[in-house]
Amino acid sequence: MIDKKFWYKGMLLLSTVGLLAACGTDDNGDSADTSEDTTEEAAEDTEGETSEETASEDAPEKPESLHIWVNDEEVQLDAYEQITANFTEEHGIEVDITPYSMLEQTEGMSLDGPSGQGPDLFFQPHDRMGDIHLQGLAAELNLTEDQLNRLGEYNEEAVKAFSYEGAQYGIPAVVETYGLFINTDLVPEAPETMDELMEIARDLTEGDQYGFMMDAANLYFTYPFLTADGGYIFAQNEDGTYDTSDVGLNTPEAVKSVEMIQSWFDEGLMPAGTDLEVANSLFMDGKVGMIVNGPWAIPDYEAAIGDSLMVTELPTQNGEPLNSFSGNKGWLVNYYTEAEYWATELALFMTNEESSTTYFDVAGELPAHAAVEIDDELMEPIFAQTLNAHPMPNVPEMSQVWEPMGDALTFVQQGDDVQEVLDEATQTIESEISIMGQ
């Protein structure tokens, strides 16, 4: 197994060295960022210093202002107005904010970027990295040693989520995943292992009451269980890139895991065809002890069962934490910006520990900075789970996985042979990926 911290720091360093060797002086005039003297200075101990103090003396001249596109939700805009005001106070650079729907920003960048009308930073989910890379919308980050050190404080998997083909493109801001929600009226103590969870489920399931429910036909939610014994979607190379020619969804390990999922239905612990809507309704009616869901469900669950709601990380299996799927959102530097260094500094400032704390307090989204302390008994376990979460693969080929695996998991609930179902799904995925490559 690859040491994650070693991998991503090494990958980032190699990316930086590669860019220097290939480019020398970049198109944006930021060659001073990466001089030998700067690297030596940045490598010194910076503990206790502000980001202003850690910035290299050889950093390029400050722009008068930077322009960013912020997703057009009021709480996010409020948070970033506070955070960027702090950046302006510390660095003397004004930050202009334009509200812009996150899901529409890539289209806007493709039009405004080349013409010089785009922002210095834009905000995107990590699973769009393949498309962003192919369109040439984001700059490969030319990170200094000091910037790498600061990035080392972030969630390792979230950082990797914004790399593509060995290059780092983004600074993660937000991590979203799911956990185990419990009705303590039915389950007073949270299970620590999957064996304990299944024992509770068997004890509680009777009539219209269930011990455990989830959307078991949805790959997003079943990923932790499907991969618990060593199954995988795409193999990963030593540098963390995906080998989409190696699909691991019908391996013996994957079959074993899906057979466990099938047993939930064979034993009558869940009705076949259960989706999240059904599971949610039963949980809020007090008829389900445990359910897998994300933090977006907390307001409804609290309204329904009040103080009986508890949230925990997913239980362990085979002595190891279950790895949930995560979606990450972060800041990307416009390929065409003339202020790449300071745009990167702004992205790191907006996602550092202090700013991330502010962002969580105002916007309620969990940060990618691992040092933040979450003072919320329902959100803190989800934050802990983010540290054991795997980003959804950010390659375009992932789009061919969802539907075949959703169909396969549905057939499994109906009692079909697991190996045959997964073989068929894998063949479909491989065929569709092959067509993409033509």
Instruction: Supply the DSSP string of 2-18, one letter for each residue.
Output: --HHHHHHHHHHHHHHH
pLDDT reported for residue 240:
82
* Cβ burial 158-192 (10 Å sphere, 16+ → b, else e): bbbbbbbeebbbbbbbbbbbbbbbbbeebbeebbe
- The CATH number covering residue 412 comes to 3.40.190.10
Which residues, at least 6 apart from 160, have a Cβ–Cβ distance to it below 8 Å?
A: 4, 7, 8, 11, 240, 391
Tokens for 28, please give them: 């944006």
- Report how far residue 232's alpha carbon sits from residue 226's, in angstroms, rounded to the nearest whole number: 8
* Domain shared by 62 and 132, yes or no: yes
pLDDT reported for residue 21:
36
* Domain shared by 135 and 245, yes or no: no
- Report how far residue 422's alpha carbon sits from residue 418's, in angstroms, rounded to the nearest whole number: 6
The residues facing 174 across adjacent strands are 329, 367
Phi, psi for 336 (deg, rounded to 5)? -95, 5
* Domain shared by 275 and 331, yes or no: no
Count of the separate structural domains present in the chain: 2
Contact 217, 410 (CB under 8 A): yes
* Domain shared by 15 and 164, yes or no: yes
Range 74-81 contact pairs with CB under 8 angstroms and sequence separation of 24 or more? 75/362, 75/363, 75/364, 76/363, 76/365, 78/362, 78/363, 79/358, 79/359, 79/362, 79/363, 80/350, 80/359
- Report how far residue 403's alpha carbon sits from residue 405's, in angstroms, rounded to the nearest whole number: 5
Residue 368 DSSP symbol: S
* Domain shared by 267 and 411, yes or no: yes
The DSSP line for 121-142 is: EEEEEGGGHHHHHHHT-BPPP-
Print the domain residue range for 73. 4-34+42-47+56-176+326-391
* Domain shared by 279 and 406, yes or no: yes
pLDDT per residue as tens digits for the range 44-60: 444 444 444 445 556 89
* Domain shared by 229 and 300, yes or no: yes
Phi, psi for 368 (deg, rounded to 5)? -85, -15
Q: How many CA atoms lie within 13 A of 85 on its CB side?
A: 7
* Domain shared by 125 and 18, yes or no: yes
Q: Which positions of the chain have pLDDT values less than 70?
A: 1-58, 438
Q: How many CA atoms lie within 13 A of 421 on its CB side?
A: 21
Residue 318 DSSP symbol: T
pLDDT reported for residue 38:
37
* Domain shared by 200 and 312, yes or no: yes
* Domain shared by 242 and 345, yes or no: no
Measure the CA angle with vertex 207, ends 203 and 210; round to 5°: 50
Which residues, at least 6 apart from 431, have a Cβ–Cβ distance to it below 8 Å?
A: none
Q: How many CA atoms lie within 13 A of 54 on its CB side?
A: 20
Q: How many distinct helices (H) and strands (E) make up the chain?
A: 18, 16
Side chain identity at residue 155, one-letter code = N
* Domain shared by 168 and 252, yes or no: no
- Report how far residue 357's alpha carbon sits from residue 373's, in angstroms, rounded to the nearest whole number: 8
* Domain shared by 111 and 217, yes or no: no
- Report how far residue 237's alpha carbon sits from residue 240's, in angstroms, rounded to the nearest whole number: 5
Helix (H) or strand (E) holding 196: helix 194-204
